[in-house]
Structure 1
Amino acid sequence: MGKYQEIERKFLVVSGDYVKQATSKQQIRQGFLNTDPERTVRVRILDDSAFITVKGASSADGTSRFEWETEIHPEEGRKLLELCEDVPIEKNRYKVPVGRHIFEVDEFLGANAGLVVAEVELGAVEEAYEQPDWLGEEVTGQPAYYNSQLSKHPFKSWTS
């Protein structure tokens, strides 16, 4: 199940227009067993499925990194979430087709409520993609927006 290279761009979202364009919505709850930037280990419950994911360090521009993921039994996922560090991440994820790509838009809940981020996975770092009107500032490679960091320093604790 695991892929070994993840290439994505991440953006802030400036309006709720993506909701009416979405083809699906999922509830996600996740936590981190390890948040070392060189190797994060994530446990994720996605609706009724569970996964464990290992991610390596990001490239210098933040667009790519090693990623391995495998599905686990949902009960194992719930037990592992109890062992995770810091604040769990809770969010709703919308899948929004835009041109040839699917944007995943995450509306964060709980300690990260108010933050909405969109990601698009690419086949290559320089691959072209359409940018919808609701896409705002690019935050690719900015660690504060990594889920592992949002679990340590939730959005609600940020100062303007």
Structure 2
Amino acid sequence: MSQEIERKFLVTGEYKSKAYEQSRIVQGYISSARGRTVRVRIRDGKGYLTIKGASNASGTSRYEWEKELPLVEAEELMKLCEPGVIDKTRYLVHSGKHTFEVDEFYGENEGLVVAEVELASEDEAFEKPDFIGQEVTGDVRYYNSQLMKRPYTAW
């Protein structure tokens, strides 16, 4: 089983000038049930199908499986998704030996900017860039599957 270990933070400072790559992402959920999500994502002209399991008690770790799909298949699967779409630009920023993925959301989640860092273990040390704010790891409101149901602008 593939385990995803990550920590999530709100972004409070300037990050775009530090990014070495960016891409637009549109994603929907075939299933957004808590504890098991099935996501369809279109990024850079490619499709992806991702299945995620329940998070552990701290919210830092969970099962994740992902498979690349032809774009046409991802577009067809998007038609099966629950109502609501996540639309965002992802910026990649190096910090020490890690890469932070900074997501700037659009549409009903406009104004929300969140950064995630993937780790090898839950207690792995990492360098926080200066744009990192409050940690929101484990706060389900910031899960993309929940932002689709209860958008940031409705909080």
Tell me if TM exceeds 0.5.
yes
State the Cα RMSD in Å: 0.8
Query: Take 2:23 and 2:71, find their aligned partners in 1: how far apart are those partners?
Result: 15
Structure 2 spans left out of the alignment, 5+ residues: none
Asked if 1:35 corresponds to 2:32, the answer is yes
Aligned 1:1-160 pairs, distance under 5 A: 4-15=2-13, 17-158=14-155
Query: Take 2:142 and 2:83, find their aligned partners in 1: how far apart are those partners?
Result: 16
Secondary structure in structure 1 of the residue aligned to 2:2: coil
Secondary structure in structure 2 of the residue aligned to 1:41: strand
How far 1:86 sits from its partner (Å)?
2.2
Query: Take 1:47 and 1:99, find their aligned partners in 2: how far apart are those partners?
Result: 26
Identify the range of structure 1 (113-122 vs 75-84) with the bigger mean alpha-carbon deviation. Answer: 75-84
**Percent of pairs with identical residues:** 54
How far 1:82 sits from its partner (Å)?
1.5
Query: Take 1:4 and 1:88, find their aligned partners in 2: how far apart are those partners?
Result: 26
Secondary structure in structure 1 of the residue aligned to 2:77: helix
Secondary structure in structure 2 of the residue aligned to 1:125: coil
AA aligned opposite 1:87: G
Secondary structure in structure 1 of the residue aligned to 2:39: strand
Query: Take 1:50 and 1:65, find their aligned partners in 2: how far apart are those partners?
Result: 22
TM-score by length of 2: 0.98
How far 1:102 sits from its partner (Å)?
0.2
Give per-residue Cα distances to partners, 1:38-93, cap 9 Å, x unaligned.
21000000011110000000000000000000001101111111111121000000
Query: Take 2:131 and 2:76, find their aligned partners in 1: how far apart are those partners?
Result: 37
Count residues in correspondence. Answer: 155
Query: Take 1:7 and 1:101, find their aligned partners in 2: how far apart are those partners?
Result: 13
